[in-house]
Amino acid sequence: MLEDREIVRRFLATNLQVHPAVVSYLRERQNPDLIEDILAAVPEGAVVVGPQHLPGLKTERDGTRFLGDPSLEIISGHAVPNGKGVEFTDFMHYFRDRYTRLSQMMRSRVSPLPIEALVRNSRYRQEDAGIIGMVTDVRTTAKGHRMATLEDATATVPVLFNRDRDIFSEAEKIVPDEVVGVRGKLSSDGNLFFAETLVRPDIPVNNAPYTSDRPGKAVLISDVHVGSDTFLPEAWDRFSSWLATSGAGYLLIAGDLVDGIGIYPGQEHELTIPNIYDQYNAFADMLRRLPGDLQIIAAPGNHDVVRGSEPQPALPPAFTERFPKNVTLVENPALVSLQGVRVLMYHGRSYDDLISMIPGASYTNPAPMMEEMLRRRHLACTYGMRTPIVAAKQDRLIIDPVPEILHTGHVHICGMRRYRNVLCVNAGTWQAQTKFQKQMNIQPTPARATVVDLCTLEAEVRDFSA
Ligand code: D5M
Ligand code: FE
Ligand code: ZN
């Protein structure tokens, strides 16, 4: 077991200090070779080894890119030429990658046996044991218990969560395709596993976020919906004027930049700009009126012109010709570093799934859903519901490394909370209530922007609605 003390000692031995975020990264992986890799890659003259020195953070494709100002770094999800972004594979490989990486995060807490060994070997019957599996099926039994089928590379086993136990409330939140660990006992006939504890990959309890050592402010928004007849131009103008004097260095936009076309039946009757190119050009004009030294990072959402399956590619050049130079287009999701503070941007399509499956979840209160994503270390666990997912060689929707900030949108309702020192921000919208939202009884909170101080990670919501 690689402990914090040992990790720190190893760095000190080479006269380097180590940031707590790096310590938690290494503790989670339990791989001493990684320390050597990091030490080998630290540039000469460095005093403190920080998150920016972690090799795992470089993208698998063409390395970390520094864009203009080195204070902005796209760690993963930068724009790549059409089609080259994802290496397609089959779902078996995709889910295997998910299982391997998420199970690794909880091995030390579960001490799992391979499921096949557990069920085949009679010596494990009615003995305390642990397993880690992907949930292939979950339901409530006739007697009101929760039953989940867990699968690993060797076999599957049904797991029962007794409704009279404390873990039941957690078991009610189990969703298909998440990876969980359980400890408990196999029945005497070997056909059923009785769960006593439920473990999720989760954020380490002692998660220590990185903060910038020089002043900096980031503004987080999403769901601008340019082109819709409910887009709020006056509120945007107030925001735009404020930004010029705000001293903010970064503007992050987590998708649904424009309203798009053909997104829902009858949308053409609710558009003021019916042409998709014109929508992006109008958005470009809005961005051109913002300060030229503001670093703008824009990711797509389900209303944007790119493929809906996640990870969604960055907007292609055909639509962004008029965008100013200070805009960096990224994929959805994307992990960006602002002066070392890592922001995981994700539009949030999976809210539609989580809200339908997790008891107590609702569109009005998105913040608890962000916590559910963090606990599962996954942005969109469940395959085959509302969130389309691409079978890629690597599961890019896994939350790894732990970011300082999780920035989402989609539900059009502002929400904020901190979970184990991760700042969760759901950014709201620039669109008033639509006909569809009226039918669904969704009351949006338009015209809000969240301002984050990169030195303290303190955040405040500013209201531009009046
Ligand atoms: O999502 C705008 C809002 O509408 C947001 O609260 C999610 C909700 N929404 C979107 N699609 C659906 C479906 N199919 N069912 C229920 N609720 C939905 P936007 O992505 O901007 O259209
Ligand atoms: Fe939206
Ligand atoms: Zn959306």
Q: What pLDDT shows up at residue 47?
A: 87
Q: What is the C-alpha separation between 414 and 411, in angstroms, rounded?
A: 8
Whether 69 has a pLDDT exceeding 60, the answer reads no
- The domain total for the chain is 3
Give the Å distance between the CA of 384 and the centre of ligand 1: 17
- Any atom of ligand 1 within 6 Å of the Cβ of 411: yes
Last residue of a domain, one of 53, 70, 87: 70
Question: Could you tell me the pLDDT band of residue 84, with boundaries at 50, 70 and 90?
Answer: low
Q: What is the CATH number of the domain that holds 441?
A: 3.60.21.50
Rounded to an integer, the average pLDDT of 160-181 is 97
Q: What is the pLDDT of residues 226-239, one digit of tens each?
A: 999 999 999 999 99
Decide if 445 is inside a domain. Answer: yes
Alpha helices by DSSP H, listed for 46-178, are 91-104, 107-110, 115-120, 168-171
Residue 318 DSSP SS3:
helix
Q: Do you find a cis peptide bond into 333, omega within 30 degrees of 0? A: yes
Q: Are residues 125 and 261 in the same domain?
A: no
CA 298–ligand 3 middle distance (angstroms): 14
- Identify whether residues 135 and 234 lie together within a single domain: no
Q: How many residues appear in the chain?
A: 466
The Cβ-side half-sphere exposure at 459, using a 13 Å CA radius, reads 27
- The yes-or-no verdict on residue 76 having pLDDT over 50 is yes
Ligand nearest to the CA of residue 224, numbered in listed order: 2
Let me know whether 405 and 324 are in one domain.
yes
- Considering the domain architecture, whether residues 19 and 150 belong to the same structural domain is answered as no
Whose alpha carbon is nearest atom 20 of ligand 1? 410
Is the same domain home to 225 and 187? no
Closest CA relative to residue 333, chosen from 51, 77, 6, 57: 77
- Hey, whose CA ends up nearest to atom 6 of ligand 1? 411
At 90 the pLDDT is 80
Q: Which atom of ligand 1 is nearest to the CA of 264?
A: 22
Residue 231 lies in a domain: yes
Provide the pLDDT for residue 108: 95
Among protein residues, the one with the nearest Cα to ligand 1's atom 3 is 411
Q: Which residues surround ligand 3, an ion (CB under 5 A)?
A: 256, 301-302, 410
pLDDT of res. 29: 81
User: Quick one: pLDDT at residue 60?
Assistant: 32
- Asked if the structure places residue 348 within a domain, the reply is yes
Mean pLDDT, rounded, for 185-200: 97
Structure confidence at residue 21 (pLDDT):
83
Encoded amino acid at 431, one letter: Q
Q: Cα(159)–Cα(284) distance, rounded to whole angstroms? A: 53
The answer, yes or no, to whether any atom of ligand 1 lies below 6 A from the CB of 170, is no
Note whether 339 and 426 are same-domain residues: yes
Domain for residue 79, yes or no? no
Is there a single domain that holds both residue 122 and residue 163?
A: yes
Ligand 1, atom 17: nearest CA belongs to which residue? 352
Are residues 229 and 343 both part of a single domain?
yes
Q: Do 44 and 173 have their domain in common?
A: no
Show the domain range for 150: 106-199
| The model's pTM | 0.89
- What atom of ligand 1 comes closest to residue 225's alpha carbon? 21
**What percent of the chain has a predicted confidence (pLDDT) above 70?**
95
For the record, the structure tokens of 197 come out as 């504890």
Ligand 2 centroid–CA 258 distance in Å is 9
User: Ligand 3 centroid to 209 CA: how many Å?
Assistant: 28
61: pLDDT strictly greater than 70: no
Domain boundary among 199, 230, 264: 199
Q: Which residues have C-beta within 8 Å of that of residue 357, sequence separation ≥ 6?
A: 175, 382
Give 342-369 pLDDT, tens digit per residue: 999 999 999 999 999 999 999 999 999 9
Cβ-based neighbours of 207, under 8 Å, separated by 6 or more = 24, 402, 420, 421, 422
Q: Are 223 and 426 in contact (CB under 8 A)?
A: no
- Residue 32: the pLDDT is 86
Residue labelled with tokens 């403190």? 48
Convert the pLDDT of each residue in 23-37 to its tens digit. Answer: 888 888 888 888 988
